Amino acid sequence: MGAKSAVSRTRAQAACLAVLVALLMALAGCASVEDTAPSGSAAAANAASAADARTAVCVEGLAFSRVSRTQIALTWPDETDAEATAYRVMRANAGDGEDTASWTCVAEVASDGAATGEPHAAIDELADDTLRQYRYRVDVEVREPEALRAEPGEAILASNVLVCVDPGHFGGANVVDDPAAPYCEGDFTLELARALAHDLRRSCGIEVRLTRSTGDITIDGYTNSALDSGHIALRGELAAGCDLFFSLHTNANLDNANGSPTFEQTLAITKPVVIANTCAATSPEALQVANAIGAELARASAQAGIATCDEFDAVAGADELRAWSDAYNDEVNAPGTVYVRLRDDGASDYYGVLRGAATAGVPGFIVEHGFHTVPAMRARAATGDLAGIWAAADARGIARGLGFVCEDGGV
């Protein structure tokens, strides 16, 4: 099939309202100085304390929101205003780590001298709309340098990337009536999407828009089953203004594939498959993200004991994309990969949700994490940790595919 005949669309130019503000959790406190050194501690610590007994002042609670591809907003509490005359928003390349020498000041904000509870805000205007990730911190200029010592602020990761995450189906949809390990895909995908959104924001500095945040989904007056069938493209169209789109699912095979009852499939069928839309199929950068997600998922599923193969077949371009086939989907002991599935016109996406994202000009993917027709997968989901495992793998894959870093390995 001609993936290369993909419709070339202009990226949607409509301004994207950042509807969700990411509050990154502080990962490490400021070095609080003088009264924390235990008595009898090393001579070096005592010497340092004696040399500088001033009170440390630093900015904690920095948060970011992605305003657009060229603007990142930063906010922080004003609780140090009484000690500060001014704040400097510092930026460094994320990959350099916190100890980088590449910190540069991108904005200065004056203190009004009194903590009133009104947070400070600044906008970092980026030179262009290339997708990028930075580390930010806010440094303080102290009012009384004899009594106060300015410490570097807590650093956070932030980016100008906004991804749209679609928890597949709706609450209560696609139930496997297994008394030993009951499973509902539409419930599980919501749990997965929430965990992914959390990991992306907190660990990678990537903002997320969810197509639904509860069991129900409503768009343009349509709800649940209508948005899972005839009007499903509307879900993908919600990605307008985002940089990437992911519809999260778990897979199923044909009835009685491999000679086993449908819901009693072997572990060996488990493989992550990523379905690219026509917009992503022609973008080597987007395919890198798909490759990284697939590789992370394959490894995570094997480590979790619900897959036998920990490999994923990466693709470099549209000509390497596998076309859809039931035989491949049902195949055991085969690595996952990225594929496309087109309608009979050979040009538009078979899956409405991906067609919607393509209409919005957004590279999009359906991510089939594993097979809910495998009892071990359902059992692992029922223990409560599978959504977290797969969400962390997705987050690592998205970050790695973009060339970004994650704190805490993306978990």
Applying CB under 5 A, which part among 137-145, 151-159, 248-256, 341-349 lies near Zn ion? Answer: 248-256
Report residue 286 as tokens.
């987007």
Applying CB under 5 A, which part among 130-138, 247-255, 302-310, 335-343 lies near Zn ion? Answer: 247-255
How far is it, in rounded angstroms, from Cα 283 to Cα 4? 10
The one-letter code for the residue type at 230 is G
Q: How far is the CB of 185 from Zn ion (least distance, A)?
A: 5
Report residue 77 as tokens.
């509490």
**What's the Cα-to-Cα distance from 252 to each of 10, 281, 288, 314, rounded to whole Å?**
34, 23, 25, 22
> Which CB, 136 or 183, lies closer to Zn ion?
183
Applying CB under 5 A, which part among 34-42, 162-170, 291-299, 394-402 lies near Zn ion? Answer: 162-170
> Which CB, 241 or 272, lies closer to Zn ion?
272
> Which CB, 248 or 309, lies closer to Zn ion?
248
Applying CB under 5 A, which part among 18-26, 161-169, 255-263, 293-301 lies near Zn ion? Answer: 161-169
Q: How far is the CB of 172 from Zn ion (least distance, A)?
A: 13
Cβ pair 296, 396 in contact under 8 A = yes
Report if residue 249 touches Zn ion, rule: CB under 5 A. yes
How far is it, in rounded angstroms, from Cα 185 to Cα 175? 6
Report residue 341 as tokens.
């599935």
Q: How far is the CB of 169 from Zn ion (least distance, A)?
A: 6
> Which CB, 50 or 175, lies closer to Zn ion?
175
> Which CB, 168 or 336, lies closer to Zn ion?
168
> Which CB, 366 or 389, lies closer to Zn ion?
366
Strands 55-57 and 148-150: parallel
> Which CB, 76 or 351, lies closer to Zn ion?
351
The residues, ordered by sequence, that sit 6+ positions from 160 with a Cβ below 8 Å of its Cβ are 66, 68, 69, 70, 71, 72, 126, 129, 131, 132
Phi and psi at 315, nearest 5°, equal -125, 140
Applying CB under 5 A, which part among 59-67, 245-253, 340-348, 382-390 lies near Zn ion? Answer: 245-253
Q: How far is the CB of 255 from Zn ion (least distance, A)?
A: 16
Applying CB under 5 A, which part among 18-26, 176-184, 241-249, 296-304 lies near Zn ion? Answer: 241-249
Q: Where are the alpha helices (DSSP H) in 204-283?
A: 233-237, 278-281
> Which CB, 209 or 249, lies closer to Zn ion?
249
Angle (deg, nearest 10), helices 386-401 and 375-383? 100
> Which CB, 58 or 374, lies closer to Zn ion?
374
Q: How far is the CB of 329 from Zn ion (least distance, A)?
A: 13
The two most distant CA atoms of the chain are separated, in Å, by 79
Report residue 367 as tokens.
């991510």
Nearest to 198 by CA among 362, 405, 394, 16: 394
Number of residues that bind Zn ion (CB under 5 A): 2
Applying CB under 5 A, which part among 39-47, 160-168, 316-324, 348-356 lies near Zn ion? Answer: 160-168
Report residue 409 as tokens.
């390995």
Measured at CB, which residue is nearest to Zn ion?
Answer: 249
> Which CB, 249 or 355, lies closer to Zn ion?
249
Q: What SS3 state is found at 180?
A: coil
Report if residue 369 touches Zn ion, rule: CB under 5 A. no
In the region spanning residues 47 to 106, those forming contacts with Zn ion, defined by CB under 5 A, are none
Length of the chain: 411
Among 153, 168, 294, 356, binds Zn ion (CB under 5 A): 168
Q: How far is the CB of 334 from Zn ion (least distance, A)?
A: 20
The DSSP code for 203 is: I
Strands 312-313 and 222-223: unpaired
Q: How far is the CB of 221 from Zn ion (least distance, A)?
A: 23
For Zn ion, the binding residues (CB under 5 A) are 168, 249
